Chain A
């Protein structure tokens, strides 16, 4: 059996890659992909520790998390489409009519 620390390393690595993508990419679609990476890092943890603890709670929750991630992308793509129609670009820094 692979020790649980390795799973934690893998998932935190994936999480950090996603976070790096969010902080550096200005394209809204890359942003969505990076968020997906972060959510999947959580799913790796859930599935791995579901095996470690010997109950199915984590695996079941991972299925729900995947479904929610899909729903989130659906709403996100809709908003990004509206962004493109209004600003002519999917650059998240373009939308800055209000000050941050």
Chain B
């Protein structure tokens, strides 16, 4: 059915459901507009205020839609628009809520970071364009929109990583991120073209329907699915396409690292969950057992990420490897999918979505704490962090919360999300994934607690004298992320219920 055949009232209703994405895009253009109207005035705070307001409004609308059940099974089902290329449902809205929350925190934290910057409008608008594209990724229902929105999210990200263009580390990080991203985009596009060659369609439900009829092109389909998986593994920083992540996260400005390691990773999973659950589940029996592939990669990613993190001396790099480990946990949501077991599939995928939600706050908060330390000009290693707890107690308490929550100690939000994830994996019959996850989580406690030990139990070594400035925006963002991480312990019920209902709708 073409766009014009749909009744106008329905079309407006359908466009209305895409409002969070539209608000983000309009805000990004507004930021650019303000800057071009008064290019000489240094309006960092005005621009940041506009960006924050836009992301918060988008977040509010998304949460409202989620609460009202827009696109949910109970109230009319998923809303599709643009000839089914985009579908707004619970899963898409859930992920948009993650992206907008992370973007709001990062924008607030960037105010102090960009105080002396010549052109803060570029930074905010790139960040907002990337968030817009990620939100589009979450609602993409066609391999074409998946590829376009994924590229639209990647291009601003490359520029953001290389944002400090006179800083060698930042440029080097941007170059490496760009080179690997460009190759993986090409591999991804080739994979899509092979899937199209085998099935004759790019719409996810039509691909799924055509997979049963693929006979002599099953090998082509298998290679295509492998290459598509490669594109997602890059975006989520999973083994074997993880090696850009430590470089990019270490060299990039710390707010950008926070944004990439939380929102960009979640966006990769949003689109991978939808593509593999909707389009490629029938291929499990026909072309390639990608469930087993993701299972093996999840195990390797968890082990490699956590062990490499344990050997780091640089805190930012340690967090980068820990974020690779967390990609391994979220991969369990894909690995535990089996053909025909839709209830168990939905449970474990919902748990992975809830984990990404909690992770969005605790990981963003941790990277923003690093941003604060960079702002003060304290060094980057564990030793440099010694005694920070005495100089900046509130932020250090928040950092301790993030660390213990990331490790999965049973006092913060990170515990429940991991617990439900591993339980879901066991229920789906993948006890070995849960076992590796639990063991690596225990290991992760070692390197997370090293940060807390440095902050609170070690003597300051004389590099903390310059700590008299108080970056308000960074403080606000770190404290907000910390409070939400704590509140997600009692408030985890609604999150996991929303996530599992959204995942169940995908498999229904």
Q: Which of chain B's residues have a CB closer than 8 A to the CB of A75? A: 155, 158-159, 178
9 contacts across the A-B interface (CB closer than 8 A) = A28-B179, A32-B182, A45-B190, A58-B196, A64-B147, A64-B148, A75-B158, A76-B158, A95-B171
Residues of A within 8 A of B383 (CB): none
Q: Does A24 contact B (CB under 8 A)?
A: no
In the complex where A46-B196, A76-B182 touch, is A61 in contact with B144 (Cβ < 8 A)?
yes
Establish whether residues B148 and A35, one from each chain, have CB atoms under 8 Å apart when the complex forms. no
Q: Which of A41, A57, A58, A64 contacts B190 (CB 8 A)?
A: A41
Number of interface residues of A (CB under 8 A): 47
Expressed in whole angstroms, the Cα–Cα distance for A78 and B151 within the complex equals 17
Q: In this complex, which of B189, B196, B201, B247 has the most chain A Cβ atoms within 10 angstroms of its Cβ?
A: B189
CB distance from B54 to the nearest CB of A (A): 23
Check B100 for interface membership: any CB of A closer than 8 A.
Answer: no
CB of A82 within 8 A of CB of B178, answer: no
Decide if B166 touches A86 in the complex (CB within 8 Å).
yes
Q: How distant is the Cα of A8 from the Cα of B250 in the complex, in angstroms?
A: 40
Residues of B with C-beta under 8 A to A13: none
How many angstroms from the CA of A52 to the CA of B217 in the assembled complex?
13
Q: A82 touching B171 by the CB < 8 A rule? A: yes
Chain A residues closer than 8 Å to B175, beta-carbon distance:
28, 79-80, 83, 92, 95
CB <8 Å contact, B169 and A97: yes
Q: Tell yes or no: B483 within 8 A of A by CB.
A: no
Give Cα A71 to B116, complex, Å: 29
CA distance A51 to B179 in the complex (A): 33
Residues of A within 8 A of B143 (CB): 61
Q: Does B187 contact A (CB under 8 A)?
A: yes
Q: Collect the chain A residues with CB atoms within 8 Å of residue B391's CB.
A: none
Chain A, residues 1-32, CB within 8 Å of chain B (1/0): the string is 00010001001000100100010000010011
Interface membership of B45, Cβ < 8 A: no
Closest beta carbon of chain B to A36's beta carbon, Å: 8
B145-173, CB under 8 A of A: which get 1 and which 0?
A: 00110010001001100100111110111
What is the minimal beta-carbon distance from B226 to any residue of chain A, in angstroms?
Answer: 13
Q: In the bound complex, how far is the Cα of B481 from the Cα of A94, in angstroms?
A: 38
For the complex, give the distance between the alpha carbons of A2 and B159 in Å. Answer: 43
| Chain B contacts for A92, CB-based, 8 A | 175, 179
- Closest-CB distance, A70 to chain B (whole angstroms): 11
Known contacts A57-B196, A71-B155, A72-B185; is A79 also within 8 Å of B251 by CB?
A: no
* A79 to B185 alpha-carbon distance, docked (Å): 17
Is B197's CB under 8 angstroms from A45's CB? yes
Q: Are B144 and A97 in contact (CB under 8 A)?
A: no
- List which A59-96 residues lie within 8 A (CB) of chain B: 60-61, 64-65, 68, 71-72, 75-76, 78-80, 82-83, 85-87, 92, 95-96
Task: Determine whether B174 belongs to the interface, using a CB cutoff of 8 Å to chain A.
Answer: yes
Does B220 interact with chain A (Cβ within 8 Å)?
yes
**Are A65 and B243 closer than 8 Å at their CB atoms?**
no
B140 within 8 A of A: no
Q: Which residues of A contact B155 (CB under 8 A)?
A: 71-72, 75
CB distance from A18 to the nearest CB of B (A): 7
In the assembled complex, B91 has its CB within 8 A of some CB on chain A: no
List residues of chain B with CB within 8 A of the CB of A87. Answer: 168, 171
CB distance from A6 to the nearest CB of B (A): 12
Contact A86 B190 (CB under 8 A): no
B193 within 8 A of A: yes
Q: How far is the CA of A91 from the CA of B243 in the complex (A)?
A: 19
Question: B181-222 interface mask toward A, CB cutoff 8 Å, 1 = contact, 0 = none?
Answer: 011011101101110110011100000000000000000100
Tell whether, in the assembled complex, residue B144 and residue A82 are in contact, meaning their CB atoms are under 8 Å apart: no
Q: Does B42 contact A (CB under 8 A)?
A: no
